[in-house]
Amino acid sequence: MPAPTLDEVLDILHEIAPLELAAEWDNVGVLLRPNQEVGPVKKCMLTIDLTEAVVAEAKNFGADLVVAYHPPIFKPLGRLDAADASQRRVIAALQAGFVVYSPHTALDATAGGLADWLIEGALGDDVPEAVHACGDGEYGRLAQLTKPISFTALLERLKALYGVANLQVAKPEGMASEVRAIAVAAGAGSSVLRGARADVLVTGEMSHHEVLAAVADGTAVVLAGHSNTERGFLRVLGERLTSEFGEALQVKVAESDRDPLAVV
């Protein structure tokens, strides 16, 4: 099987996460196309953030396409200046010669996408009574459980899902040891989870005052770090691309992509 064209890969990415599901404020799709004519896509790298380290790794890998979950170009650029770190990575990617595509919130909202992966990982083998989308644009998920689960067991599941040793946890005073409803959202999910009637809110990051408000309302908060709630899904996305194109497309998750914060 010959290597797919860029359009063929983009068609599959659109099937996985239709761009019309993205938030109005988002910037999704092909964000960098260094050449008017793009040859076969033989190598694809997946990353959460297009950092300078990831650009260098993608160049060494020989990537023809980089799928960056977070858009490396978000706000309109009035000028290009290599002295600016954010713009420098864009310039470096253009010089490296690969296409950059971002699905972002479209990947959150889609069926079988990031939000579904988050709630399925939180539930483990427990069977939910119901799972609902939450937030404008359906970027989060709320699960009601047929049987309560241990809060401690939930935390261990989340650590395994996100590949982290520690979580930030805020609990209301006198909180029960078991939970019946869990709401999840990727990244900075406070706006998505606002108003969700759950025992526990799980996301990457929330502000100090948002955490205080949730706890005052009787809801526990679990924070894993913004990109830690997203990065594990790259393996799932890679498997979907591999199942579609087989050996004709070499897919790699960037090794240099990691959460910028560490617990020391």
- Quote the pTM value: 0.95
Supply angle C-alpha 147, 216, 114, rounded to 5.
55
Q: Is 154 exposed, middle or buried (0-12, 13-18, 19+ CB in 10 A)?
A: buried
CB 159 within 8 A of CB 256: no
For the stretch 35-72, pLDDT in tens is 878 889 999 999 999 999 999 999 999 999 999 999 99
pLDDT of the residue at 33: 95
Instruction: Report long-range pairs for 245-248 (Cβ below 8 Å, ≥24 apart).
Output: 245/1, 245/4, 245/9, 245/12, 246/1, 247/1, 248/1, 248/2, 248/3, 248/4, 248/42
pLDDT of the residue at 227: 97
Query: 222 CB contacts (<8 Å, ≥6 apart)?
Result: 154, 155, 158, 167, 168, 169, 200, 201, 202, 203
Q: Strands across the sheet with 65-68, in order?
A: 29-32, 99-102, 65-68, 43-47, 250-253
Q: Using CA atoms, how far apart are residues 70 and 86, in angstroms rounded to an integer?
A: 13
pLDDT of the residue at 36: 77
**CA 163 → CA 30, 62, 121, 208, 213, distances in Å?**
29, 28, 12, 24, 28
Residue type at position 106: A
Backbone dihedral angles phi then psi of residue 203, each to the nearest 5 degrees: -160, -170
pLDDT of the residue at 224: 97
pLDDT of the residue at 140: 97
Supply angle C-alpha 55, 70, 164, rounded to 5.
90
pLDDT of the residue at 229: 98
Pairing status of strand 140-150 against strand 250-253? unpaired
pLDDT of the residue at 219: 97
pLDDT of the residue at 79: 84
Render each residue's pLDDT in the chain as its tens digit; 264 residues.
Answer: 799 999 999 999 999 999 999 999 999 999 999 987 888 999 999 999 999 999 999 999 999 999 999 999 998 888 888 888 889 999 999 999 999 999 999 999 999 999 999 999 999 998 899 999 998 788 999 999 999 999 999 999 999 999 999 999 999 999 999 999 999 999 999 999 998 999 999 999 999 999 999 999 999 999 999 999 999 999 999 999 999 999 999 999 999 999 999 888
Q: What is the helix (H) or strand (E) element at residue 215, kind and residue range?
A: helix 208-216
Query: 12 CB contacts (<8 Å, ≥6 apart)?
Result: 240, 241, 244, 245
Percent of the chain predicted with pLDDT > 70: 100
pLDDT of the residue at 110: 97
8-state DSSP, 149: E
8-state DSSP, 20: G
For the stretch 103-119, pLDDT in tens is 999 999 999 999 999 99
pLDDT of the residue at 176: 92
